Amino acid sequence: MYLERERLVRRWVGIVLAIAAANPAAAETDPITIEEVLVVTTRVSQPIDEIPAAVSVIGRDDVQLGRQQLGLDEALNRVPGVFAQNRYNFAQDLRLAVRGFGARANFGIRGLKVYVDGIPETTADGQSGVDAIDLGAVERIEITRGPSSALYGASSGGVLHLFTEDGGEEGRLSASILGGEDGYRKYQVKAGGRAGAVDYFASVSDLTYDGYRDNARVEATQFNGKLNYQMDNADLTVVVGAVDSPKAEDAGGITAAQVAAEPSQAQPRNLSSNSDEEVEQQKIGWVYNRTFDAGFELTVRNYYVWRDFGAFLPIGSHIPFVADDGVVEFDRFFYGGGMQLHFPGTLFGRENRLVVGFDIDQQEDDRQRYINNAGVRGALSFDQIEEAETYGVYLRNELKVTDTLAFILGGRYDDVELSVDDKFIANGDQSSTLDFDEFSPMAGIVWQMSDLTNVYVNYATSFETPTFTELASPARSLSVNLGGFNDVTAQEATSYELGLRGRYLNDRLYIDAAIYTMDVEDEIASVSNIGNRSFFDNADTERKGFELTAIASLSERFELSLAYTRARYEFDKFDSSPGLVGNDLPGLPETQYFAELAYRHENGFYAIADVLYADDFQINNANTLMNEDSTVWNFRLGYRGDEGRWRVSPYVGIHNVTDEDYMSNVRINGFGGRVFEPGPERYFYAGITIDFHP
């Protein structure tokens, strides 16, 4: 195996260097500079320096160039305050934590609002997934760190915006082939261009990956399309998407002893339960923008998502109606829309910007569970209709008090209703309804201290309702109550933040620093894991942190990027478990840093090395089990060369260069010490993209 890796690397390095040497003038690149960017985190496009919040932007090259494109964390690791896990377990999906929000999730994303091209990937009950996002088609990522409910409503501890590629002025056709160890293969075809007033883009990709561990295979086919029609003073964007993933196996968490014996093994219970999932999803949505003669702007959006899901979970069969209903199926219909008005103008003779709008999101899940008889679907044990309805109205006003000082004030009112209609009444009718309503204010000041430096301060809030999964009844009542709701209430967060952004040395050095303190009341916390199912309760927590981003253009060919996070997350109050007060929140390292050194030659050759260090952290609320710190190095090199209408871009990469032993994921408060999901040892991958401009 080692010799095969070495031959693979030598072959691809030879191809890259040979092409680069043969065409030294191809694909000229401009000198690397740190440019001012526009973002839409305030729901309107404006310079990032004018925003009183921590916002990071990731460009297309940092998402796609030389990447394996297995997970969003490949790009998001460069953002401070973000901790990502679970790249290699597609059944559990990527887990993201932003300033602690989302850390409790044992699968998927919680506490964060996710959008793709203006259409939400976060359902009405607050769950987000990324299995429909094709990284090979992403143009840009914007991420807002910290409470954002004043604009985005419930489950907005942070906001993640992804934007797919446009067609562009020139027509193009692109084909990519990626491959690597552990059975990794990805094929992708993209096409785009412009025909009159219509810009169009489409992408199809197919992924297969056996995984480093046993029982970790994934198969997925994705389609994404976008069409933008330009009209007089208006434009209409239509997006469509589909994903078909017939297989995403779950290797499961294993104990420390099992890790020491063989880190690539699967949990035996996962094997005997045939732990696996399949997903089909289709999406269509549109966003309409119009600017009127009076100067104000109108935005209207509407979307529809259909999702069919089935999974075999590694749950035993020794407690009736409790731990044996390990087959989960649901049909989901998720739809909604909204409208927004933007009024740029003046107030008291000063420049002013007012945004008002509303959102409506609806979700209906037809959910069943069945007995898991050693990997075979058995009798029905659970059947209910779950509905979530959210209504939100928001306002944000930004007033330029002076030429260098802006004051921002905003707020949003949300009403969230969660209901269950129990269809399986053999164990009693568990139909229930819960209603949450909340007003979320924010205030901020941005001061242009000099031509080079902007300083901001903000007060921000967020609230988060429990999802249907987190409202599941605790184990003490499950033996007689399978459906219905637990008494978990919504959490509320209040944050104070001071930040600085600056561009120095002729725009060759960019600094972004933030310090914050945050109190979270009634945080939805994982408290137990029984039969591989998590249960939740409320607790108060306290968070304090410092985040730093530095990007330096060392020369026209070298760029250095740094991201540093230092934070503390503690339980401040826990009525059901007072002994936990003062303990660290599990799943969150206190220290994390990322560094990347990129070399880009004017002939199109590039070489990029990066390292991610994550401090050790607690795995359970009791702080009796620790995950060790890790340092993972990666390296990629490639070439982008133009020859007439063609561009050829081969590349090769090495993940975990030093062969570090580390965990790609840990399962918070996991039962029986089965919490570790080891990351792969050193592995190699390679790819080539061919672009044609007719």
Average pLDDT over residues 466-489: 61
Instruction: Find tokens 């939100």 and name the residue.
Output: 392
Residue-wise pLDDT tens digits, 206-228: 999 999 999 999 999 999 999 99
- For residue 362, the tally of other CB atoms under 10 A from its CB is 16
Pairing of the two strands 158-164 and 113-116: parallel
User: Which pLDDT belongs to residue 524?
Assistant: 87
pLDDT grade for 485, boundaries at 50, 70 and 90? low
Q: Which of 11-15, 361-365, 429-433, 574-578 has the lowest mean pLDDT?
A: 11-15
Q: Are 282 and 305 in contact (CB under 8 A)?
A: yes
Distance CA 89, CA 73 (A): 13
Q: Are 472 and 535 in contact (CB under 8 A)?
A: yes
Pairing of the two strands 234-249 and 218-231: antiparallel
User: Which pLDDT belongs to residue 649?
Assistant: 96
Residue-wise pLDDT tens digits, 33-58: 555 678 888 999 999 999 999 999 99
Residue-wise pLDDT tens digits, 411-454: 999 999 999 998 988 777 778 889 999 999 999 999 999 999 99
Residue-wise pLDDT tens digits, 309-335: 999 988 754 444 444 678 999 999 999
Q: Are 502 and 511 in contact (CB under 8 A)?
A: yes
Tell which residue, 606, 612, 596, has the closest CA to residue 652: 606
User: Which pLDDT belongs to residue 35?
Assistant: 56
Instruction: Find tokens 């339960």 and name the residue.
Output: 273
User: Which pLDDT belongs to residue 9?
Assistant: 45
Work out the percent of the chain whose per-residue pLDDT is above 70: 90
- For residue 31, the tally of other CB atoms under 10 A from its CB is 11
Distance CA 458, CA 80 (A): 18
CA dihedral over 322, 326, 327, 333, signed as positive or negative: positive
Q: Which two tokens stand for residue 433?
A: 């309804």
CA dihedral over 501, 503, 505, 509, signed as positive or negative: positive
- For residue 452, the tally of other CB atoms under 10 A from its CB is 14
Q: Find the farthest-apart pair of alpha carbons in the chain and give their distance in angstroms, rounded.
A: 75
Residue-wise pLDDT tens digits, 508-521: 999 999 999 999 99
Q: Which of 7-11, 356-360, 365-369, 686-690 has the lowest mean pLDDT?
A: 7-11
In this predicted structure, the answer to whether residue 394 has a pLDDT above a threshold of 90 is yes
> What are the E-state strand segments in 428-557?
432-448, 453-464, 491-504, 509-530, 533-553
In this predicted structure, the answer to whether residue 155 has a pLDDT above a threshold of 70 is yes
Average pLDDT over residues 239-264: 96
User: Which pLDDT belongs to residue 24?
Assistant: 45
Residue-wise pLDDT tens digits, 543-597: 999 999 999 999 999 999 999 999 999 999 998 889 999 999 999 999 999 999 9
Work out the percent of the chain whose per-residue pLDDT is above 90: 75
Q: Which two tokens stand for residue 544?
A: 């304090």
User: Which pLDDT belongs to residue 170?
Assistant: 86
pLDDT grade for 29, boundaries at 50, 70 and 90? very low
Q: List Cα–Cα distances, 515 to 5, 456, 564, 568, in angstroms.
A: 44, 11, 12, 12
The strand order across the sheet containing 158-164 reads 54-58, 138-145, 158-164, 113-116, 119-120
DSSP string, 180-213: ETTTEEEEEEEEEEEETTEEEEEEEEEEEE--SS
User: Which pLDDT belongs to residue 13?
Assistant: 47
Q: Which of 46-50, 98-102, 324-328, 633-637 has the lowest mean pLDDT?
A: 324-328
In this predicted structure, the answer to whether residue 483 has a pLDDT above a threshold of 70 is no
Distance CA 502, CA 284 (A): 40
Residue-wise pLDDT tens digits, 105-120: 777 788 999 999 999 9
- Name, in order, each residue with C-beta under 8 angstroms of 343's C-beta and a sequence gap of 6 or more: 295, 296, 353, 354, 355, 356
User: Which pLDDT belongs to residue 318?
Assistant: 42
- Name, in order, each residue with C-beta under 8 angstroms of 251's C-beta and a sequence gap of 6 or more: 89, 211, 213, 214, 215, 216, 266, 267, 270, 275, 677
Q: Left if phi > 0, otherwise alpha if psi is -120 to 50, otherwise beta: which for 375?
A: left
Mean pLDDT of the chain: 90
Domains of the chain: residue spans and CATH = 2-692 (2.40.170.20)
Distance CA 614, CA 283 (A): 36
Q: Which of 24-33, 134-143, 453-462 has the lowest mean pLDDT?
A: 24-33
Distance CA 106, CA 101 (A): 13
Q: Which two tokens stand for residue 388?
A: 């979530």
